[in-house]
Amino acid sequence: MKNQNKKNNSLEYRKQWANKKVLVTGADGFMGSHLTERLIELGADVSVFVRGTSINGTTQYTLKKIPPKVKNKIKNFICGDISCHDSIDLIRKNSPQIILHLAANAYVPFSFQHPVEVMNTNLIGTLNVLEASKQVPDIERIVCTSSSEIYGTAQYVPMDEGHPLNPSSPYAASKLAADRYSYSYWNTYGLPIAVIRPFNTYGPRHVYDVIPFFIKLALLGEPLTVHGTGEQSRDFTYVDDMVDAFLLMGIHPNAVGNVINYGSGKDYSIKKIAELIKEISNSPSQIVFGERRISEVERLFCNSSKAKELLGWEAKIDIEEGLKRNIAWCRQNGNLDNLI
């Protein structure tokens, strides 16, 4: 009965988004586009911060993931570079009640060659959001998006929020710095900040990372290249479950001042993911092995008991069902070149 009450409470909090003035940064990314779509379904007053420019008074931007039906219902488009100081004033003028900060340069291998650019987007961009939040009089919540990558390879499993923080890539280091700055702004300035640490998320509209790569190759009948032994493992969560996690972090009072992990509570080897995608898609693709990647995290396996205890959240969609949905979406949307 106790767990059932928590689930009911979490559903009630999701209903509180109606008419909330919300700003989503990184709204045209994989996770941000799904979150924006759900917020509009829930009746929120949504503005988005997307990368763009203003030329001769005309705002120019390109949307790749926000569906047209969603775009038409967005209240305001703020265009700029989240890492530039100008973004502080842009966010202040928007004056949101809730900021869901997802803007990031999130492809880990990109950080190997562009560590400064990644640091500017992920850390300085977050600092700009935090500084802007100090100037918004009616701010109720700032959700800052961290990453499971900040933990590095698991020293014990499942990995809770107290696990040592050992980022193994420039990307992970930039996210760790942003994570800790976010916590410091709650502690120092009393801002209503909640830090979400998602483990690997997958689903429609994702265009990088192992699952979309493997799905594209499987549907084309091309070899699935597993780097290293393939025994390295990840905790994969379907996007619909992670959207629910963001919604709770943005509205539930228990989230303020907390850092909370979100994951499925199961880990799967990369080799196993390749096998499942090959099987579910009925693909003739062969599974082959390549060189081990640099800065490879060997294991990520989430302990999301804090999310369940404080907010009543737990993942509902298992890996087989999630992959079926993801593969079906890719087939229906046709152009496989858009998947990478």
Query: What is the set of active-site residues?
Result: 171
CA atoms of 113 and 111, how far apart (whole Å): 5
User: Kindly report the CA angle at 159 between 153 and 162, in degrees rounded to 5?
Assistant: 105
pLDDT at 1: 44
| pLDDT value of position 250 | 98
* pLDDT at res. 3: 52
Q: Residue 257's pLDDT is what?
A: 98
pTM, to two decimals: 0.94
Nearest to 172 by CA among 161, 183, 180: 180
- Length of the chain (residues): 340
Please report, for residues 48, 193, 248, the alpha-carbon distance to residue 252 in angstroms, rounded to integers and kept in the order given: 21, 12, 5
Which of 240, 260, 231 shows the shortest CA–CA distance to 159?
260
Look at residue 9 in the predicted model and tell me its pLDDT: 61
Q: Classify the phi-psi angles of 49: left when phi > 0, otherwise alpha if psi is within -120 to 50, otherwise beta.
A: beta
**Paired strand residues for 288:** 225
Place of tokens 């290249």: 225
pLDDT the model gives residue 215? 97
Q: What is the pLDDT along the chain (340 residues), one digit of tens a residue?
A: 445 555 556 678 878 999 999 999 999 999 999 999 999 999 999 999 998 765 555 566 778 899 999 999 999 999 999 999 999 999 999 999 999 999 999 999 999 999 999 999 999 999 999 999 999 999 999 999 999 999 999 999 999 999 999 999 999 999 999 999 999 999 999 999 999 999 999 999 998 899 999 999 999 999 999 999 999 999 999 999 999 999 999 999 999 999 999 999 999 999 999 999 999 999 999 999 999 999 999 999 999 999 999 999 999 999 999 999 999 999 998 655 554 4
CA–CA separation, 151 and 164 (whole Å):
6
| 181 CB neighbour count, 10 Å cutoff | 17
Within 13 Å, how many C-alpha atoms sit on residue 167's CB side?
19
What is the pLDDT, as a whole number, of residue 340? 43
Residue 173: closest CA among 84, 297, 23: 297
Which of these, 307, 64, 317, lies nearest to 198 by C-alpha position? 307
Check residue 83 and report its DSSP letter: T
Residue 312 CA to residue 325 CA, distance in Å, equals 25
